[in-house]
Structure 1
Amino acid sequence: MWKAVASNALTLFIVLLIAAAAIVAWGRNEFVKPGPLTEAVCVQVERGASLAAVSRNLETRGAVTDARIFRIGTEYSGRSADLKFGSYLVRPGASMEDVLTALTQGGASTCGQEIQLVIGVASANAVLRELDPATNRFVEVVKFEPGTVEVPAEYTEAAAKPDMRFTVTLVEGATSWQVADALKRADFLSGEVASVPPEGALAPQSYDVEKGSDRAALIARMTRAQEDILAALWPGRAPDLPYDTPEEAMIMASIIEKETGVPDERGLVASVFVNRLRQGMRLQTDPTVIYGITKGEGVLGRGLRQSELRRATPYNTYVIAGLPPTPIANPGRASIGAALNPQESDYVFFVADGTGGHAFAVTLAEHNANVARWRAIEAEAAAGEGGGVQTAD
């Protein structure tokens, strides 16, 4: 009898073991198979939210088929303590495992709203924007220049949210004075800006910040980032450059940055200035003259006068030989790279070509023909917006 009972018990145990294995296999399959979403959604994880609450929210939003399976799978994988608060984009067909990865991988939120301070060459704007999950593109909700207009109510309401993300984006070619001025006017930052950072010392890129972040600490981050970029690129510089120090390279990079907004032209623009230095020619670049007038404090807002082109200042490269004494803006990585490794060419002239780019020339005769074409374009458009070193002659 006892043998029969034992045999039956063993059989039952084996059956239960097989059933458990089948359930585990089924749950594992449910966890990794494509999910139910047909359109992307933005899922928010509240600060301090429990795994159970997050699981229920995912099921409610249609991101997972079963909150219990998601919760059990998360606990089984040992990632239940890794949930990050924020807003995350869940793409169509994402499995529960994909969703868990999105919610635990860390870093910046991938959807929802964010406030961005964009420091550009002409203005600094606070932008409240929101990611549209359907298109995976940010949509501008409101935009204004801090300190010049009344703060929109939508911005104030959004900035007060505890999970709001903030970024500061420095655009290539903005000056250090513009950066300091914009940071002072950013209401989500704190602390003082004791002085304007050295020109060229700040790396143009985006910086994630917390609400209440210290302005001086942010400037220090920008400075370290620029130092790291220069340190990484300097050892790979061309061997025969007509400037010898990292400081001189940054001056050249800033001129290149102000001369062209066309990425593919940076190397050619660099070659023009390098060729001029090698031949003992003056750089004759309008942006340096403008910097000598404005000191980087805003934009000139008009064309240069002949008297200004003739006036002797440390930055007037129509008058002085060689480089000006300091950078004239904060150059980005691409312009620094162009200054350190210019494209090979025989060009010593360039002028705007009416398309946003430039026409390059080797001889003065070729250059004069290019200038004549540009003047004709100006006359036809009835707007003289040549700007830049575009006449470098």
Structure 2
Amino acid sequence: MATPEQKAAAQAKKRRPSRGASHPAVVIGSAVFTFLLFLAVGGGLVAWYAEGQYTAPGPLTAEKTVVIPRGQGTRDVAELLEREGVVRNWMLFVGSQQIARRGEQLQAGEYEFPARASIADVLDTIIDGRVVQHQITIPEGLTSQQIVERLNASDLLTGTARMPQEGTLLPETYRITRGMKRDDVLARMSAEQQKLVRELWEKRDPSLPLKSPQEMVVLASIVEEETGKPDERPRVAAVFINRLNRKMRLQSDPTIIYGIAGGKGGLGRAITRTDITTPTPYNTYAIDGLPPTPISNPGKEALAAVANPARSKDLFFVADGTGGHAFAETLDQHNRNVARWREIEASQKAATPPAPGGGAGTGANPAVPATSN
């Protein structure tokens, strides 16, 4: 039977750690394991929280537009979004961009974020470059100078616009984005015009007395200025084509105006007898054939009308008081139409003469007698 001293020694031996357990390597290993376990648990909780925040609805209570300037770093963008109330925490946004989207580049531009947009939604929008699309409308018949002035007036566009040659731009409604360069818009308008002109020239009436696509554009610019009614353009084009075939002067009022005002687009007054009889390179009452350049930028319908004009024998037209024109094949018929138009003017007690194009191209201007030359 063990003595009390033997029992005490045995119990002390049990309480004493083994030499292996107290070895420094074992102690360090145990500490590292505990730390890694802590990190794993903590990291899992952080990842769970971050994932929830990444897809959770954001703080915006209503749709909001934010402009991200060029040259901004990820943190700059994140802080901007936090200030604008798009995201709650810029650091969480940066972390999400680095982890979820692998640091993909944030693109400058104007962005529209819906209410409650999540960080995931915001990142997708900016990284994919889903910028806000605006529209700018260029009406038919403006000169290049007038078009440049319209672009300069837009605060959405940037840069100094060059002055394009007359008739080289296609009037249309174009999509633009904030910060786009004005020259880029002009380049697109020019490319669209060249494409359309090529297509129409290839499909033109082969009997046209026009030698080049440029001549088609020149005549289309006159047709554009003569009438604003789409259904009249092919017939107006036919009048000028018929006159060219007969070697008759075009006698178009808008060419008088362009010869005096140039790219400004208007005189600010009525055409006078002196204007009509004073030669300029553009005044088709004084010159034979077409002017040297277009007098405006014609639209699709005017270009198409010249490429394939109506089949008619008309040589004259004059305003008819309804916004349209009365057409005639003979000078006598045309003179009667002019007299009727003057009666309409008198009955309406018009204080101003007809607008440019209202008595065009064929001696129809009331300021001069009709002729057949």
TM over 0.5: yes
Identity of aligned residues (%): 47
What is the aligned counterpart of 1:192 among 157, 160, 166? 160
Q: d(CA) in 1 for partners of 2:55 and 2:298?
A: 45
SS in 2 for 1:178: helix
Q: Which residue of structure 1 lines up, in the alignment, with residue 274 of structure 2?
A: 307
Are positions 1:369 and 2:339 aligned together?
no
Q: Which residue of structure 2 lines up, in the alignment, with residue 115 of structure 1?
A: none
Q: d(CA) in 2 for partners of 1:387 and 1:281?
A: 23
Report the CA distance shift for 1:381/1:231 in structure 2 as closer, same or farther (over 3 A).
same
What letter matches 1:182 in structure 2?
R
What is the aligned counterpart of 2:222 among 226, 246, 255? 255
Are positions 1:322 and 2:289 aligned together?
yes
Report the CA distance shift for 1:226/1:53 in structure 2 as closer, same or farther (over 3 A).
farther
Q: d(CA) in 1 for partners of 2:184 and 2:250?
A: 36
Q: d(CA) in 2 for partners of 1:336 and 1:245?
A: 13
What is the aligned counterpart of 2:135 among 167, 170, 174? 167
What letter matches 2:154 in structure 1?
A
Q: When the two structures are superposed, what TM-score results if normalisation uses the length of structure 1? A: 0.59
What letter matches 2:354 in structure 1?
G
Tell me which protein shows more strand as a share of its residues: 1
* Structure 1, unaligned runs of 5 or more: 1-48, 59-84, 89-103, 110-162
Q: Which residue of structure 1 lines up, in the alignment, with residue 204 of structure 2?
A: 237
Q: Which residue of structure 2 lines up, in the alignment, with residue 178 of structure 1?
A: 146
Deviation at 1:232, TM superposition (A): 1.5
What is the aligned counterpart of 2:249 among 278, 282, 299? 282
Deviation at 1:235, TM superposition (A): 0.6
Q: Which residue of structure 1 lines up, in the alignment, with residue 237 of structure 2?
A: 270
Report the CA distance shift for 1:87/1:301 in structure 2 as closer, same or farther (over 3 A).
farther
Deviation at 1:387, TM superposition (A): 2.9
Q: Which residue of structure 1 lines up, in the alignment, with residue 92 of structure 2?
A: none
Paired residues of 1:286 and 1:387 also in contact (CA < 8 A): no
Paired residues of 1:254 and 1:329 also in contact (CA < 8 A): yes
What is the aligned counterpart of 1:227 among 194, 197, 200? 194
SS in 1 for 2:290: coil
What is the aligned counterpart of 2:321 among 311, 335, 354? 354
Q: When the two structures are superposed, what TM-score results if normalisation uses the length of structure 2? A: 0.62
SS in 2 for 1:189: coil
What is the aligned counterpart of 2:176 among 206, 209, 215? 209
Q: d(CA) in 1 for partners of 2:258 and 2:188?
A: 25
Deviation at 1:51, TM superposition (A): 7.4
Between 1 and 2, higher relative CO (CA 8 Å, sep ≥ 6) is seen in 2
- How many residues align structurally? 248
Paired residues of 1:178 and 1:296 also in contact (CA < 8 A): yes
Paired residues of 2:166 and 2:293 also in contact (CA < 8 A): yes
After TM superposition, list the pairs within 5 Å mapping 1:105-120 onto structure 2.
Answer: none
Q: d(CA) in 1 for partners of 2:296 and 2:284?
A: 16
**Runs of at least 4 residues off by over 6 Å:** 49-52
Q: d(CA) in 2 for partners of 1:86 and 1:299?
A: 41
Q: Which residue of structure 1 lines up, in the alignment, with residue 356 of structure 2?
A: 388
SS in 2 for 1:213: coil
Deviation at 1:388, TM superposition (A): 3.2
Q: d(CA) in 2 for partners of 1:230 and 1:298?
A: 23
